[in-house]
Structure 1
Amino acid sequence: MSPTTASDALTALAEEYGIATRYWSFFGEDVTVPAATLIDVLRGFGVEATSDEAVADALAEVRDRPWQRLVPACTVVRPGGDLLLAVADGHDATVTVMLEDGTARSLTIPPQKPPSRVIDGAPRWRVRVPIPADMPLGWHAARVSELAHGGGAGRSVEGMLVVTPPRLPAPRVRGTDRGWGLMAQLYSVRSERSWGMGDFADLADLAAIAGNRGADFLLVNPVHAAEVTTPIEPSPYLPATRRFLAPLYVRPDDIKESLALPGADRKICVAARASASAWNENADRIDRDAVWTAKRGALERIFAVPRTPARQAEFDAFRAREGEALELFALWCALEEHYDGVPADERPEEVWDPESELVAHLRTRLDGRVLFHTWLQWIAEQQVAAAQSAARAAGMGIGIMHDLAVGVHPQGSDAWSLRDLYATGMTVGAPPDMYSALGQDWNQPPWRPDALAEAGYAPLRDMIRGLLRHAGALRIDHIIGLFRLWWVPNGLGPAAGTYVRYDHEAMIGVLALEAYRAGAVVIGEDLGTVEPWVREYLADRGILGTSVLWFERDGDRPLPPERYREQLLATVNTHDLPPTAGYLNDEHVALRARLGLLTEPVEAALAAAEAERSGMLTALRERGLLGPSSSEREVIEALHLFVAASPAQLVGVALVDAVGDRRVQNQPGTSTEYPNWQVPLTDGDGRVVRVDELVAHERFLSLTGAVQRALG
């Protein structure tokens, strides 16, 4: 088989697995995916396709697979959709849906002329079973029994039936049908009582402050759990797990048992807090490693304090609710501590298998540490719940808005405990575009769409359910990943990858069901190259899109805000762009020049920035939002009023813009060259701005007041 040209059979096999065999590039080219890439990506599905015979066998197997099962492992459907059966010739079928509440409901199979396929020498019929429009939403089981004509024995199979809402309701905001909120990088936002970085108590205080200013939501960076040993990955978008929370954000002082610490332990914890709190004054960098080292010692002592019977009962109930998933995460944490300092490639091979004898032995040996890490998750959830309560008490219609990362660390907890759900030898990335001529490799393993379906989408459900348990909204980073992802075979480089399709009706359906049950809003980050039908589909499901002022263009002019979409979270900037004050002062150009990231002379980059800025200022003046001579603060407020003039249902205000910060949080194209995700919140003069100060911060009050008046 040629390594460059795929045969018709290989092409057909790839397409059966949702692997794109051709695609349109960012540059408008019709790209045909080479055979070598298709073979490698198929291997990620566990399919060997290195010979014509292997391809033919695999193609026959995958085409027969849906016909061999009486009912699929999982069907995700809206009311009025269909459940598809594969009934043997000469048999009748009955369908009973076992609802979540324990009751049963029989479904009627209408007369029809179903298609057929010969399987193992006998025909099978694809029978359509309509789901009634009044079928309750939820996670049900479809029990299908097959009886031979004349009463002979047949099969009896059960498959999951997930009934999802057709559409999510509009966001709940106070007063009108539109609302605004604050956007912050939680780790960067510190207070008088912080342990060197922002924490869940700061989240509660910031939510209360914003809520009292009229905000309806507070969007923060992903707070997924990262490593439990140093060094800790700074990027919140490369977590160890997306199911559980980062104990790094726990405030030890707020744990009830801390009040009962013995004298000696109390002194140690006070010293640990003093050591970590010294970082509150550092305007240059957040040191997660120093913070976690101090916190972990204090948390271990608080954990050792006996809990009251009521508190112990709460902890026990939490562990029972979270089940084996929590225990496995805690075990992974304990294993990471056990092998701390041992490089991943030098650890025993057995340790990467959760079901190995070695892991079973260590699970018993490390049971105390496993219990400690389950306790940390209980504490973290309590503090997040307190933050959401503070947000709602301050009048927020939505409250905390979490951010869901695209994927996970390849050696993290999820990749370990759910390894059968991830494609081996693959990472997720992006194809070449104007920003990256070689494409991007995000070093995250992709979910296998077929394995997710076999698992009944339970991992997706549990992840979303956990995040929304104490939140009012969820932002989905790179939501196009629920439709398709760019898979990169290891060693080939991102330009040699291709797209793999996911069952978006199932993925979005599960997302919508869990959001509906939580009464939550969903926002999809749909920036960049997104096919129009995707945005239309998301809008039809009640999922908001994302709009950033600088990306909304009408030719060489800013797009008038009246032409923005209505179902949006509209903002002036995003975490991958410089704060507006920095942009207005060309600090982003100076930084890229300093880091060697410019692809053109500095003078040309400055001229391009000036042209874009001049066009925006002209648009602001034409609308009467800005005078002929205006200060930086006035320009920033005018930009937000420009966005507020759109029909967008939600408007976001970045905290960095509200205090005049100039430094970007994340500089794309860098790793160690810039302290990405480690920049503390400061004002335009580089002075630390604390949460406590915001209630009297003139610039913060002015911007939030202007946006509140515009939307109120």
Structure 2
Amino acid sequence: MADDQQRPSDELLRLAGAYGITPDYWGFDGTRRDVSADTLRGVLGALGVDASSPARIALATAHVEDMPWRRVLPPVVVVRQGRHGHVPVHVTDGDPVEVWLELDPEVGGGRREIAQADVYVEPRTVDGRLVGRATFTLPADLPLGWHEVHAEGPSAHAHSPVVVTPARLELPEVLRDRHAWGFMAQLYSVRSHASWGIGDLADLADLGWLSGRRCGADFLLINPLHASEPTVPVTPSPYLPTTRRFVSPLYIRVEDVRETAYLSAADRSLVEWSAETVLALDTDPGPIDRDAVWTAKRSALEVVFAAPRSAAREAAFVQFKEEQGSGLDGFALWCALSERYAGRAWPVEAMDPTSTLVTAARSELAERIEFHRWLQWVADCQLAEAQQAALDGGMALGIMHDLAVGAHPEGADSWALADVLARGATVGAPPDMYNQQGQDWSQPPWHPDALARAAYRPYRDMLRTVLRHAGAIRIDHVIGLFRLWWVPEGHSPAEGAYVRYDHEALVGILALEAHRAGAVVIGEDLGVVEPWVRDYLSERGVLGTSVLWFEHEMTGGPLAPEHYRPLVLATVTTHDLPPSAGYLAGEHVALRERLGLLTEPVETVRAAARVERERMIGLLRERGFLGEDPSEREVVEALHRWVMATPSVLLGVSLADAVGERRAQNQPGTDQEYPNWKVPLADGSGQVVLIEDLFDSPRLRSLVAVLQSRR
């Protein structure tokens, strides 16, 4: 509970509520916790609201409560297909107004009249003007799409988007009468002899095709491929990208760019020399060196970029640029500026995309800007080939992409989308049983009101790009579409507050774009999630996530397989835990002790982990999944038999579990203390496993035989 000096006043609570800030929350231990007044003021400040005094609070409250009445139309209206939506229209009281709808050109266009509803709302005096509200009803038979509502009259001249979203995303027909399983892989860690030191998009194509053809897998879930910095050092975390919309060119396979085959002998030598510096890293069991890889690849790709393209290839490049529009232009410009100012602070003027300096840079850096556009086109082509290879291998879904929660505070999204991101706060998570100090992910959150004023277009554009070549998409921390834990500047991760978002709009637009792409959506709904949220997502056709070690009965024991939710992606483990072999050995406890992340005595945590493991092994024996004196491999397979016994429609299998890897890819709550996101795929002895040998691994073949028995 907040102490008396930190207890918010009623006026501050009212203002916070008007901006969607929750004044309390339930902790992972079941205790209700109040948010302090200082935290509320900090979060309001990040929203651009001054709550520093009672007078300022009163002024801000009056402003926010009058704001809807100042607008003729809402900035955007989001409605489910098959339902009547309502559009409030504000005009000078007594004035007439005509309202109609222009349909999305993608569904044929046209005009639809909208009828006024018989709803009376008391007029309101705003800024000295008496404002009335007329309510208009949208037809229930509107097609899916992005339409436009118009209002015209003596005191009205406005238009706003109307987004009609699917009532529910249905599973593809191929998954309606059977369960499906697939591998989960950190792509950068899965290498071949031709990988230049990091798993790439050619490796993704091979991994997808081989997983489908040789193992019968239906999908391949990979880490986010979002773009990192165009210069070194490269941030290793795929969950802290510079942008979530575009792809990291680090994953491009240079030799697979068509123009590489037609290079002159001299230019080909330059490419080969670049490759020589990193090809040996493919078999190195040490941390992945992204800086060395990108230095070599960038040099080689610059040579290929300078080579002439055929007329058809050039036309395809031009079409890609037109499709991606200003978003691609802005990202490429940011990349070119990042190269110009590499290693030093950007001038203040360069931080403003509309400044004179940046305008001049568009001309001065035109060649580099075009290079970065070209990199995105090449990556897009290779992503398309990887998805097609996965489908050709027999997969039902193909590649399942992952969408990170946010982007780097100094990255391309923060630069280009500053008007829809909040400043003065970062996204994180309150304390939980695995991170008892809370987490600060350092990413600026969407500003809820600003994003709505932008009609959610930045969010939509991001989704469209990620879904271009996806059979499914996993939304990391899907609760962020409902609420996010904001950590105000200068506060610890435990001193944050939840800020609510318009989930009907965010989930609806996600469903619309996934429907158009033909993709399945999975929401990572682990941790403290209000029960109604899971019900809502299920109602909308968004699958949830179940991890064996996190699923418990009310009595505290492991959740019985038959009690799992049907509409989930069920897994034994996750990338934030050690692979199963390491978890069974208690390495998650040893690692957190070594890194100083425990808030309880290590003996207590170790004993709890031992009880958890022994109880699970006992239950596996009771179910007949495990015999006496089992080997490590047999226990891991038994854990997968447990998950296979659930009604869950999707089953994810960590590729690390399939080869006996013991090392964690990531330890939440750390930065430089652990080689997060740098661990190459290896077996239990630490021997690197390359794609050429992966599918002949006896351990993988044994686990696959277990998985294939589910059907």
Partner of 1:448: 447
Partner of 1:383: 382
Equivalent residue of 2:33, what SS?
Answer: strand
Deviation at 1:386, TM superposition (A): 0.5
Deviation at 1:637, TM superposition (A): 1.3
Where structure 1 has 5 or more consecutive residues not aligned to the other structure, the ranges are: 147-152
Letter of the 1:139 counterpart: W
Partner of 2:672: 672
Give yes or no for the alignment of 1:88 onto 2:95.
Answer: no
Cα distance in structure 2, aligned partners of 1:560 and 1:194: 42
The aligned runs of 1:184-203 (5 Å cut-off) are 184-203=185-204
Deviation at 1:440, TM superposition (A): 1.9
TM-score (norm 2): 0.95
- Equivalent position to 2:320, from 318, 321, 329: 318
The aligned runs of 1:489-504 (5 Å cut-off) are 489-504=488-503
- 8 A contact 2:436–2:599 mirrored in 1: no
Partner of 2:118: 111
The aligned runs of 1:470-509 (5 Å cut-off) are 470-509=469-508
Residues 625 and 20 of structure 1: CA distance in aligned 2, closer, same or farther (over 3 Å) = same
Equivalent residue of 2:6, what SS?
Answer: coil
Equivalent residue of 2:648, what SS?
Answer: coil
Partner of 1:520: 519
Letter of the 1:542 counterpart: G
Letter of the 2:125 counterpart: V
Partner of 2:35: 33
Partner of 1:141: 148
Q: Deviations over 1:124-150 (max 9, x none)?
A: 33333222221001111001123xxxx
Partner of 1:149: none
Q: Deviations over 1:398-443 (max 9, x none)?
A: 1111111111100000000111111111111122334444422111
Equivalent residue of 2:443, what SS?
Answer: coil
Q: Deviations over 1:555-589 (max 9, x none)?
A: 34221100000110000000011111112233333
Partner of 2:542: 543
Deviation at 1:622, TM superposition (A): 1.0
Cα distance in structure 2, aligned partners of 1:31 and 1:292: 46
Deviation at 1:463, TM superposition (A): 0.6
Give yes or no for the alignment of 1:432 onto 2:439.
Answer: no
Cα distance in structure 1, aligned partners of 2:683 and 2:145: 48
The aligned runs of 1:284-683 (5 Å cut-off) are 284-342=286-344, 344=345, 347-554=346-553, 555-599=555-599, 603-683=603-683
Letter of the 2:41 counterpart: I
Cα distance in structure 2, aligned partners of 1:360 and 1:396: 47
Q: Deviations over 1:164-203 (max 9, x none)?
A: 0111002454683311111000000001211111001111
- Equivalent position to 2:136, from 115, 118, 129: 129
Cα distance in structure 2, aligned partners of 1:426 and 1:600: 29
Equivalent residue of 1:494, what SS?
Answer: coil
Equivalent residue of 2:494, what SS?
Answer: helix
Identical pairs, percent: 56
Tell which deviates more after alignment, 667-676 or 49-58. 49-58
Q: Deviations over 1:65-118 (max 9, x none)?
A: 111222111111113132222243213332211111231111122333334323
Give yes or no for the alignment of 1:238 onto 2:240.
Answer: yes
Residues 559 and 26 of structure 1: CA distance in aligned 2, closer, same or farther (over 3 Å) = closer
The aligned runs of 1:167-186 (5 Å cut-off) are 167-173=168-174, 176-186=177-187
Q: Deviations over 1:465-486 (max 9, x none)?
A: 1111100111111111111111
Equivalent residue of 2:97, what SS?
Answer: strand
TM-score (norm 1): 0.95
Residues 648 and 521 of structure 1: CA distance in aligned 2, closer, same or farther (over 3 Å) = same
Partner of 2:255: 253
Letter of the 1:537 counterpart: Y
- 8 A contact 1:49–1:58 mirrored in 2: yes
Cα distance in structure 2, aligned partners of 1:548 and 1:268: 47
What is the number of residues matched between the two proteins?
A: 701
Cα distance in structure 1, aligned partners of 2:10 and 2:634: 62
Cα distance in structure 1, aligned partners of 2:13 and 2:315: 57
Cα distance in structure 2, aligned partners of 1:580 and 1:288: 27
Residues 437 and 587 of structure 1: CA distance in aligned 2, closer, same or farther (over 3 Å) = closer
Cα distance in structure 2, aligned partners of 1:201 and 1:115: 63
Partner of 1:20: 22
Partner of 1:150: none
Cα distance in structure 1, aligned partners of 2:600 and 2:46: 39
Letter of the 2:115 counterpart: T
Letter of the 1:458 counterpart: R
Give yes or no for the alignment of 1:704 onto 2:708.
Answer: no
Tell which deviates more after alignment, 539-548 or 168-177. 168-177
- 8 A contact 1:570–1:650 mirrored in 2: yes
Tell which deviates more after alignment, 583-592 or 94-103. 583-592
- 8 A contact 1:173–1:179 mirrored in 2: no
Letter of the 1:106 counterpart: E
Partner of 1:272: 274
Equivalent residue of 1:92, what SS?
Answer: coil
Cα distance in structure 2, aligned partners of 1:578 and 1:336: 35
Cα distance in structure 2, aligned partners of 1:631 and 1:300: 51
Cα distance in structure 2, aligned partners of 1:97 and 1:666: 49
Q: CA RMSD in A?
A: 1.8
Cα distance in structure 2, aligned partners of 1:676 and 1:200: 21
- 8 A contact 1:3–1:36 mirrored in 2: no
Partner of 1:100: 104
- 8 A contact 1:483–1:504 mirrored in 2: yes
Deviation at 1:7, TM superposition (A): 3.2
Cα distance in structure 1, aligned partners of 2:527 and 2:466: 26
- 8 A contact 2:90–2:132 mirrored in 1: yes
Residues 30 and 629 of structure 1: CA distance in aligned 2, closer, same or farther (over 3 Å) = closer
Letter of the 2:208 counterpart: A
Deviation at 1:607, TM superposition (A): 3.3
Cα distance in structure 1, aligned partners of 2:226 and 2:12: 39
Residues 459 and 593 of structure 1: CA distance in aligned 2, closer, same or farther (over 3 Å) = same
- 8 A contact 1:575–1:665 mirrored in 2: yes
Cα distance in structure 1, aligned partners of 2:381 and 2:466: 13
Deviation at 1:602, TM superposition (A): 5.1
Where structure 2 has 5 or more consecutive residues not aligned to the other structure, the ranges are: none
Letter of the 1:427 counterpart: T
Residues 585 and 30 of structure 1: CA distance in aligned 2, closer, same or farther (over 3 Å) = closer
Deviation at 1:51, TM superposition (A): 2.9
Equivalent residue of 2:402, what SS?
Answer: strand
Tell which deviates more after alignment, 43-52 or 459-468. 43-52
